[in-house]
Amino acid sequence: MGATIPGWSPEIERGFKEILFRFLEEIQCTRAALYLYGPGDLFLLATQYGFGRRDPLAIEHRVKDPMVARVRELRGVPVAYNHRNELGPLAEYIKTAGNSRLLLVPLIVGDEIIGFVDARDKGRKQSFERPDISKAGKIAAAMVDFARRSGFVIADEELVPVPEPRVSKPRPAPVGETRPPLLDESGLENLHDAALDCLLDNQVSAVAATLTTPEGAATLINTRAGGAEIDREAFANTQVGMIPIQETAYWQTLGPDTRWEISRRSAAFLLSNFLHGEQGALLATAQIVDTVPWYEGKQYGATQVMDEARHVEVYRRFVQEKLQHEYPVNPELKKLLDLILSDSRWDFKFLGMQIMVEGLALAAFGTMRDTTNNALLRDLTAAVMEDESRHVAFGVLSLREHLANMDERGRVEREDFVYEAAVLMRDRLTNREVWETMGLDADRCVAIALASPLSTEFRRRLFSKIVPNVKSLGLLSNRQRARFAALGVLEFEHGTTSDEDQESEEAGRSLPN
């Protein structure tokens, strides 16, 4: 078995057999087979447990066979069939030896199918239930991860693409496909419930709805921000680190009009990058819904897509209508977003977006909420933070167990990615674009900003959530600790993680008033 698959070896076979045996143990099915894509547009039998003479197993499936056609329709989500009348054309594959139940588990890399697991009846004639489907998704992710780590090449030819869903033929609903969870059942389920509540009555929804009508916008602006224009004095005196040269000797040499214009443009620069970060989060989260290998991740991710779309609209309106000056995406932020969006691995998307970009944004949002003198900005930022705290907790809960089982090579690669992202995020906060558009000496202003205690402290505190989260994921080795110490942020390692913060917040809401 597996000998005709390019790149196959005894070591590869042992690795897949170990994972497949774990599959049988955890799901308690009586037999299971692994098929991998090979030459000639065939899915070839790689290894199996439990099948015998009474229930012979196909050694290959063509791409157009009913079994492969069904796997392609699943788009990465395992499906269980517990009754013969659910099987349709698949019935011929399990009609021997009294088989009546089937669990199909696709193995997906990005948008491509590398194989699938064909699992049969559970012991004592039990049905495949909701926990079995969750476990199957987890073990499928382990198989894909092993294929990558081992350097195993599935085939020289192009893999089988996952088809776009057809509106006229929706995917059949898997048994138990209703809710989380795979990794942390209660944690992800609570996040999902909280997200659904916030879709209905979150402050962001109220602010966004108010801003979408001219009458509502005028009311909100006039009652909360002191008129149709932003309060110039209040905004110029805002100290949130978004004006890196503030409280420096150079700042004192500038006239009131120049200070105001720097304040407006610095706010526009920071909020424009908030906006671009939210746009990136919208795209990345849509990818997460598609690529994350278990259903609860897709379910919660779908609520986050709605959150991000709402945030994009809120910040777009504030930047364009109130500040009236929008900056393009910062080069460092764009580089990180491109890395996240172009990597097909779901856990890198989580690390880059949920842990790094969202974690840094959460700290920046908190500083702005606590220090800005603009009531409208304070209110909408506080509301956005409610969503963002859940998003970061989602990343922590989803990655913790996955990374705990990773080998040293994979862990080091992810540590390097985290560090690279941290450096990119730190280096983007000098406001060079503002100084250039103002006609000021940009190099001088950047040098002043880098030396400013206010700006330095602001940049440092942006890592207050990232460092404890990274530590809880097992990505703070001695090597990583030394690099974080050089960045001046290691002291935050003892802080609470985002999932702990979320639990505390939810507990506080449940207390009687």
Which of 161, 176, 193 is at the close of a domain? 161
CB contact at 8 A, 435 and 445:
yes
For residue 106, give Cα distances in angstroms to 114, 144, 163, 188, 229: 8, 10, 13, 23, 56
Q: pLDDT at position 134, please? A: 83
For residue 265, give Cα distances in angstroms to 382, 432, 447: 22, 11, 19
As beta bridge partners, residue 471 has none
466 and 348 together in one domain:
yes
CA distance 286 to 346: 11
Q: pLDDT at position 459, please? A: 73
221 and 333 together in one domain:
yes
Q: What's the rounded mean pLDDT across residues 375-396?
A: 84
Structure tokens at 213: 């009508």
Residue 281, domain member (yes or no):
yes
Residue 396, domain member (yes or no):
yes
78 and 210 together in one domain:
no
Q: Which domain holds residue 90?
A: 10-161
CA distance 366 to 382: 8
Q: Which candidate, 98, 101, 100, places its Cα nearest to that of 129?
A: 101
* Confidence check: pLDDT of 234 > 80: no
**Residue appearing with tokens 């922590």:** 396
44 and 138 together in one domain:
yes
Report yes or no on whether pTM surpasses 0.85: no
155 and 194 together in one domain:
no
Task: Put residue 438 in one of left, alpha, beta given phi > 0 → left and psi -120 to 50 → alpha.
Answer: alpha
Burial class (CB in 10 A: 0-12, 13-18, 19+), 86: middle
- Per-residue pLDDT tens over the stretch 454-469: 777 777 777 888 899 9
CA distance 494 to 83: 52
Q: Report the relative pairing of strands 32-38 and 79-81 from DSSP bridges.
A: unpaired
* Percentage above 90 pLDDT, the chain: 13
Structure tokens at 120: 């049969």
- Per-residue pLDDT tens over the stretch 287-345: 999 888 888 888 888 989 988 988 888 888 888 877 777 888 888 888 999 999 998 88
353 and 413 together in one domain:
yes
To the nearest 10 degrees (0 to 180), the angle between helices 375-404 and 214-224 is 100
Q: Chain-centre distance of CA 69, in angstroms?
A: 29
Q: How many domains does the chain have?
A: 2
233 and 91 together in one domain:
no
CA distance 384 to 364: 12
Q: What's the rounded mean pLDDT across residues 164-168?
A: 38
Q: pLDDT at position 483, please? A: 94
Question: What are residue 16's phi and psi, to 5 degrees?
Answer: -65, -35
Q: Report the relative pairing of strands 112-119 and 32-38 from DSSP bridges.
A: antiparallel
Q: What's the rounded mean pLDDT across residues 483-512?
A: 79
Structure tokens at 407: 């080998």
Positive or negative torsion for Cα 269, 424, 407, 119: positive
Residue type, 331: P
Residue 247, domain member (yes or no):
no
100 and 202 together in one domain:
no
Structure tokens at 11: 């070591």
Check which CATH number belongs to the domain holding 280 and give it.
1.10.620.20
Written as one string, the DSSP assignment of 242-274 is SSTTTTSHHHHTS-HHHHHHHHHHHHHHHHHHH
For residue 10, count other CB atoms closer than 10 A to its CB. Answer: 8
User: Which own/partner contact pairs does 37-41 have at CB distance under 8 Å and 24+ positions apart?
Assistant: 37/113, 37/114, 37/115, 37/154, 37/155, 37/159, 37/160, 38/4, 38/5, 38/6, 38/154, 38/155, 39/4, 39/6, 39/155, 39/156, 39/157, 41/157, 41/160
Q: Does the N-terminal peptide bond of residue 453 adopt cis geometry, omega within 30 degrees of 0?
A: no
- Per-residue pLDDT tens over the stretch 250-286: 888 888 888 888 887 888 888 888 899 999 999 999 9
Q: Report the relative pairing of strands 42-49 and 112-119 from DSSP bridges.
A: unpaired
For residue 233, count other CB atoms closer than 10 A to its CB. Answer: 11
459 and 391 together in one domain:
yes
CA distance 255 to 348: 47
Structure tokens at 504: 């505390």
Residue 397, domain member (yes or no):
yes
Residue 480, domain member (yes or no):
yes
* Confidence check: pLDDT of 476 > 90: yes
With cut-offs at 50, 70 and 90, classify the pLDDT of residue 190.
Answer: low
99 and 231 together in one domain:
no
120 and 191 together in one domain:
no
Residue 4, domain member (yes or no):
no
First to last CA, the chain: 65
Residue 244, domain member (yes or no):
no
Check which CATH number belongs to the domain holding 52 and give it.
3.30.450.40
141 and 212 together in one domain:
no
- Per-residue pLDDT tens over the stretch 53-79: 666 678 888 888 888 888 888 777 888
Residue 173, domain member (yes or no):
no
